[in-house]
Every structure is written in C-alpha cells, then in structure tokens.
Amino acid sequence: MSDKITVGRVVMMILVVAIHCSVVGLRGYDGPAGLTAMFDFFDCYITSVAVPWFFFISAYLMASLRREGGFDAYKSTVKRRVRSILLPFVLWNTIAFLIRQGVNLSPLRSFTGGGREEFDSIWDFFLRVYFEPELEPLWFLRNLFLFTLFYPVFQRAVRVNSVVALVIFCLIEEYVFSSGLIYYGLGFVVAKWCDPEKMSGLLPRFGAMFPLVVGVMVAAYFWVDSEVCYQLLIVAGLFSLWGVACLLLPYAGGLGRPDNIFFIYAAHGIISPYVLKVSALMFDVSGLWWAVLYVVSIVVVIGVCYGGAVVVRTLMPGVFGALTGSRRRALSAL
C-alpha cells in the first residue's frame, strides 16, 4: 500500500504544479477555442482532485495508523504535526516573503511589476504573510494543521455515525468555511470501513472506472451546473485517478520520496510565477504553442524544484529536514 500512496503523491503533486503553471492568462495568449475548452475542463475537474486527495490521504492515514487514545496521545500527535507541518509552513512563507521582497526591490522588478510590500502593523504582516499565506499553495498546510487540532472530535463523530458526520462536514464546507474539511472528513469515514489492505485491492477497480468517470465529468462540464454534482465527481475522480495512476506508474523513483514531494510542493509556489513571467516575455503563446509552453513550464518547475531538493539535502541536511518536516522515505506501517 505504501507504494500506491507514493505514486498517488507524485501524480497529485504534478497536478498541483499544473494548477500554478496555467498559461491561459499570459499576455498574448490566443489559443484555439477547442484547446481552450479542453484546458478549462482539465483545470476544472482533473487538476482539482489533487489538493482534495492530499486532505483525504492525510486523514485516512491518521485514522488507519492511530487509534483513539487519551490526552497524552493527542499531545504527542500535535507535537509531531508542529514539527512536520507548522514549522515548515512558517519557514517556507518566510523564505517566499524574503525572496519576493528582494526581487521587488531589485532591477528584476521590471519583470515582475512589483514594489516594496508595506504593512499597516505587525498584525497585518502576520495575517498577510502567515495566514493568507504569502506562499499561496501552502494554504493546504495551514488548514491541515488546524484540522489536526480537532482530529479527535472528527474521529469520534465518524465512529458514532459516519453518515451524519459527513453531512455535517459538507454543511461546514458549504456554509461556514470552504477549507477542504469535506475531504479530510472523508478520509476518516473511508478508514472506518476500508483498511489499507482492502483499499490496496480496490484501487485497480477504481482505476478501471477512470474513463467512465471522465466521461461523466465531460457531460457535467457542458450540461450540469450543480455544486453537489461537482463535489461528487471530484470524489469519484480522486479515487479513479489514484487507481489509474497505480496501474500506469507502479514505481515513482526518487521523485516519490516524501521529503522530495514536500519540498517540490512548497518550492513550486516560489518558482512557478517567475517561470511563467519569463515565458510570457520570451516565447510566443499564440496558437498551439501555449499548450507546449504549458507542458514545458510544468517540467521546468518540477525539475528546478527537484534539483533544489537534492542540493539542499546534500549540502544542508539539517535545513532540508526542517523545510520538509523530517519526513521519511516510506510508510513502513503499511
């Protein structure tokens, strides 16, 4: 099962990078209408399953590997999450802020259109750099840490009545705080009925259903305007895409190390805006070339981030451990 989770992480990480490498909004974009519609569908449905999957798998693993305990168990879990989530979140947002301030105050600001960012107060600085956050893709880590603080409540609610608990999660997601809670809660619900061994056996079946799920997504994209339908399709896409990824990509290589995945997930938010801005200035994004540029941008961003991970891990292993939450190579418990 650990290999399947690793493959899922790699594929979903690539899709997260794809979200932030969109070239449709670049200056001079003039893509064919058909390709534009295909890209919009891909962006609306396929890439949109990535972050929900990370929420789901985080809760699923927590529920599968950790049973309910007392306050000491809760305190131990929170301490681990401070080291593996909160500390990297603070470090990466600080790095992103310093880099962007440096670029905006240098001659390179002519390429970014930026200037010095000013704050009204220390509280304003805290909100805009660490809560919004400065490194936008890391909103996932912010919410994941907040969910961790309440995980005993979620786990107990699911144990009492999983259907009612899931309905409550959906209502909170829809009317209170759009945060990924529905997918996090889904992880606890699935863990209640499906252990990792059973999930491993079901994934090939989910993968076989991927063409059908995509077909329904296409029909919904053109003819259905329903938030409920959309969320159900995202959940279906989450499982079927994970399943087909495991069928087509049985081994993820060095890219699949949890610490490398985390480093790329965080660093791409710093790298991708500059890759896109340079691309807009240097290359033609009209006609079919925008699609080529889209793929190349994804490859370049992942390549640069992966190279950075290797360099930092080799030269500064302590820093690398802090930036990645000291994540290990495999999930031996699975």
Task: Name the pLDDT band for 63 (thresholds 50, 70, 90).
Answer: confident
Please list the residues that pair with 30 across neighbouring strands: 286
Task: Name the pLDDT band for 255 (thresholds 50, 70, 90).
Answer: confident
Report pLDDT for 332.
Answer: 47
By 3-state DSSP, what share of the chain in percent is helix, strand and coil, each rounded to 5?
Answer: 80, 0, 20
Report pLDDT for 310.
Answer: 94
Stretch 225-249: mean pLDDT, rounded? Answer: 89
pTM of this structure? 0.90
| CA-to-CA separations, 293 to 18, 24, 64, 95, in angstroms, rounded | 12, 10, 41, 27
**Which amino acid belongs to residue 76?**
S
Stretch 22-42: mean pLDDT, rounded? Answer: 70
Q: Give the three-class secondary structure for 318.
A: helix
286 — phi, psi (to 5°)? -95, 165
Residue-wise pLDDT tens digits, 96-149: 988 888 877 776 666 555 555 666 777 777 877 888 888 888 999 999 999 989
Task: Name the pLDDT band for 231 (thresholds 50, 70, 90).
Answer: confident
Task: Name the pLDDT band for 274 (thresholds 50, 70, 90).
Answer: confident
Cβ–Cβ < 8 Å for 186, 166: yes
d(CA 35, CA 82): 43
**Which amino acid belongs to residue 197?**
E
CA 154 to chain centroid, in Å, comes to 21
Beta-carbon count within 10 A of 7 CB = 21
d(CA 33, CA 116): 39
